Structure 1
Amino acid sequence: MRLLSHRGLSSQHPENTIAAFAAALSVGFDGLETDVRLSADGEAILYHDRLSPTGQAVAGLTRRELSHQAGYIVPTLSEALEAFPAAFWNVELKTPACMPSVMAYISSVQHKTPILLSSFCHPLVFEAANTLDVYCALLLSHRPLSVNTLLEGTIHNPRLRTLVWDFDILDPDFLLETRQLGFSHYVYGAANQNEHQWCSEFGIDGLITDYPSMVGLASKPPLST
């Protein structure tokens, strides 16, 4: 099972920062999950929330303005991937506005950095899968009515063979049925030891977690300043 750190090691550093990513890799995570948006000055930045700490739309702020409000330097997608090119990256596309910048950059690194692109906005995933030479995934926060309704349009695209599930909606029968069709499964949102153990025993392909100790990784104490 591939272990991905959810937005880096945010127990020690601000989430989605270079420091958080470095800390996660240092304790043994296989890869990193992160979120990409577009800033007002046209940069593909790594920031999860739609609003800044003062309640402003992130899309209406420059990277410098957002960094000032957040209290740390908000990294760009290119800075993060270039800092850790050997890490496996799950890049979540948060908005359609970020697509042109993300697509242009990913196309330049897709053959040297392992990347899984995902989104709750499924049309973005289809566009990426039809354009880029990287693996793509549908993010799911609800239980689909059927396998057919979920996989319509995916079955003929070999790059779209991954589903990323919220732990709350996992259905073992559904997972087994889609696995038989050649799909891999990643899970986020496991919150205690039993849930992490279930993912491991069930054979989930990748686990996106905030808890290194629950997957057998020893979280190092933060460096003193």
Structure 2
Amino acid sequence: MKWSAKKKLSLITASCLVVGTFGLVASTTDVFKDNIPSVASEKKQAGVSQTITPKTLSIAKLMKQGLVQTYPGDPNLAKSTFRVDRLLSAPPKSLNLVAKDGHRFITVPFIMEDTSHHDGGYSVYKPNRFTLQDETGKEYESVDYVNRNEKAWKNTHQYFAPYRSQVDVVYQVPINKKTFVLFASSDAFAKTHTVKIEVD
């Protein structure tokens, strides 16, 4: 079959239009693909922009958890069965403690003296297990202690009345933390104590 020049020209023009249209659609689709973020990139972007607010507690609210709210050397508790004396300036030398970088020691003297009982029995009393908390709620356990009266406190959990017990308990805390709440609870005394501890 012979094609006239006019028909050949029409066929070529139509072919060009089809190819051109297909190319335009394909290139347009690629542009949209480039501009649509993937699920993975969205997750990554969300992760980068996400911020986490640290938990902050009020020292006053922590103190309210105790039925007895006090501080080291509180004169109002001078005759109480349990109390906390003034903080010691340094840990007992016999412990040979060395603070980690960025940390320091707080030494708390716990006094227990129950003169109302003379039966020779004992009460469960664990001052070495009392903990500190800072304003973020982070808890600090004791690192060591010294028992000043072995007649009064034995086996790390027995208090014998009517003797006077003094246990100097050492905590290690970050230098940049200035205020703590100590929680003290025991079978040896009736009420939970919260002790506000402030250091320079």
Range into which the TM-score falls when normalised by the shorter chain: under 0.3
TM-score (normalizing by structure 2): 0.22
Q: Could you state the TM-score of these two structures normalised by the residue count of structure 1?
A: 0.20
- The structure with the largest strand share of the pair is 2
> RCO higher in 1 or 2 (8 Å CA, sep ≥ 6)?
2
Point out the structure with the larger helix share.
1
